[in-house]
Structure 1
């Protein structure tokens, strides 16, 4: 006969009751524990992850009030609210049954019982326990997701051949559940690439959970990734859902994976092999179905040679490898990125700014050592500091020691020289139409060819 998974604790001062109920229920459930001492309840619940408790109403000889049972019922529910409790008594008192159910008991059974009746009551209690556990898990997951998913989604942009190749790889890899390793310098958009993989997958409607492994201390590593139970350590005020469990059926993104010490690599390797995590303070493993995406700016092959990274761990996480190019190797994308972030931050800070084509050209010549992240932060800073209707690029790379001066076209000519006036007018038209040559040419009353000749003449 197949036995259902689950743990039962029977608490009664009558040893014969314990023996009889244990022999009966052991035929149907994998783990049945018994005790005559209600003071041992806490130990059993914490040690064996008890799902259902059969609790006697009275433990003092000749007692019939049921107060003891109600007291221990409250202790159980305080210790582990998801536990389902069935109250037992030799006195089928309806008022006592009502009190017990109002206090949180799931059901009530009178002794002596028919075996079929006890089996039915316990089966119903397990169904109730499963429902409560699913509800509690959903509540815990929602709390964790509210914290983990904070922030706005940022689009992953690019039109250069290098980025088109990246997009092609993402599209192919996204259709699978293969583990992904994303490599690239800091600021190249590794998290955006990971989100793009997730959005291309069949898990797109599930959670995407990210963890910066470089910021997770060794002492919090297991709690952060695997979770912990209430009371597992001093600051464990409530259960915490680990990131693997939060990302169940979705994708888990581990950034800065190259910073992991060898001890943590070993723990992660075991988890990935077994597809199970065990929260701190629990002995009950949790299965997970999570798509793993990792990223690093480290050279992991060199780290393996120096003994700082496990080769078997690398094989586990890089079924498919995606290399993101630095911004200096995809200069064609810089105007697109600048216009995107200029529009985004102008809207955020309620500004109406455009950029002179000559200033855009100058920013394309900068090497952007901090890649897209530096570009985005620089545009945001300039939007905040700029005065007037045009982006002042003088502050964009001032913190690098390089000097970028405002474009001469940004200054209204202080003379009536026709060439200076024409240069200013052409630059202003281009700025107004955000670099759209066709629109600017139409507004100036010129053909596209004529406008291009003036752009070349004035080096705009």
Structure 2
């Protein structure tokens, strides 16, 4: 099972239930979600639960190619269609016949390509770049975006008729900060995966796990995986402790805790100083430098911490 489908969050339960209900249909689907939430994983899951599961699942990121390359990748081209086209090439629309085409960051298609793709969706036919022979195809379209498409329509970037054609059903994946109860499941999944790769038995302390749960994860599941992989690759112990986590994760988690518990500024500064001191191995000179404080300022905060404890 993929990590996206490991969940305790009720919103995710509703999403997966809805996914199961619509997978068997052939309706176009539009997936919304921030970068890193797993839109491509959900799209492939839908494909594998559909009647097209034995066909191809092709993923094309519309943000990484220039307009001309994107057209060539989608529609294919004939030999001599443009400089460098030394042979005939089948495009995604040709190769995906019988399967599912997943177009990520679809808002990056220009209006001309939107018009051409709209025609393919309606007629199941297209011409390769530089070609005259009509090619027939049959596929399910799943699109994804991390932007406000109705606003893109208002600005003229997205055709309204194109939007209504691709959004047969709309699915929204919540960001990781709205499903904190799932973070432990993801962390355990990733650590098990990394343990197999590095041939190590890996664990995580309760304090470090709490820090992960409190961090806001702007890069979502992808960022969590990258952070844990980086930690595992560089640490020498078998267990992740809080001092192994990047300082920005520790700082962000502290701010979240401070906001939730309505800490006063002084309490937050004291907690931050204590954590930085731990990260530096109790090196007060280095800690003061990281904090941007004078040694006397650090000393004053540590004295307050001792009195409170």
Contact 2:205 2:242 (8 Å CA) reproduced: no
Give the drift of 1:385.
Answer: 1.0
What is the aligned partner in structure 2 of residue 137 from structure 1?
none
Aligned-pair RMSD on alpha carbons?
Answer: 2.2
Q: How many residues align?
A: 257
How many Å separate the matches in 1 of 2:83 and 2:121?
28
Q: Report deviation, 1:358.
A: 2.3
Superposition pairs for residues 190-229 of structure 1, below 5 Å?
A: 190-229=39-78
Give the distance between the partners of 2:194 and 2:188, measured in 1 at CA.
10
| Cα distance in 2, alignment partners of residues 399 and 259 from structure 1 | 31
**In the alignment, structure 1 residue 358 sits paired with structure 2 residue 202:** no
- Distance, in Å, in 1 between the alignment partners of 2:239 and 2:17 is 36
Which residues in structure 2 correspond to 1:252-331 (within 5 Å)?
252-331=101-180
Report Cα offsets for 1:378-415 as digits up to 9, x if no partner.
11111101112112444544356827759x8xx9xxxx
TM-score, normalised via structure 1 length: 0.53
- In structure 2, C-alpha distance between the alignment counterparts of 1:320 and 1:314, rounded to whole Å: 11
5+ residue gaps, structure 1:
1-152, 412-460
**How far apart in 1 are the matches of 2:244 and 2:105?**
30
Say whether the 8 Å CA contact 1:394–1:403 is kept in structure 2.
Answer: no
Change (3 A) 1:393 1:258: farther
Q: Is the partner of 1:294 in helix, strand or coil?
A: strand
Change (3 A) 1:398 1:259: farther
Q: Give the Cα separation in 2 of the matches to 1:230 and 1:392.
A: 58
Measure how far apart 1:234 and its partner are.
Answer: 2.3
Q: Distance between the aligned counterparts of 1:250 and 1:335, measured in 2?
A: 35
**Within 5 Å, which residues of 2 pair with 1:54-133?**
none
Aligned counterparts of 1:390 and 1:321: Cα–Cα separation in 2: 41
Q: Cα gap change, 1:403/1:327 in structure 2, threshold over 3 Å: closer, same or farther? A: closer
How far did 1:325 drift?
A: 0.3
Deviation digits for residues 189-243 of structure 1, max 9, x if unmatched? 1001101111110111211000000112112122100111233222123322101
Structure 2 unaligned spans of 5+: 254-274, 282-309
Aligned partners of 2:196 and 2:241: how far apart in 1?
Answer: 17
Query: 1:181–1:321: 8 Å Cα contact kept in structure 2?
Result: yes
Name the one with the larger helix percent: 2
Contact 2:211 2:249 in 1 (8 A): no
- SS for the counterpart of 2:94 is helix
Whose relative contact order is higher, 1 or 2, with alpha carbons under 8 Å and at least 6 apart? 2
Larger Rg: 1
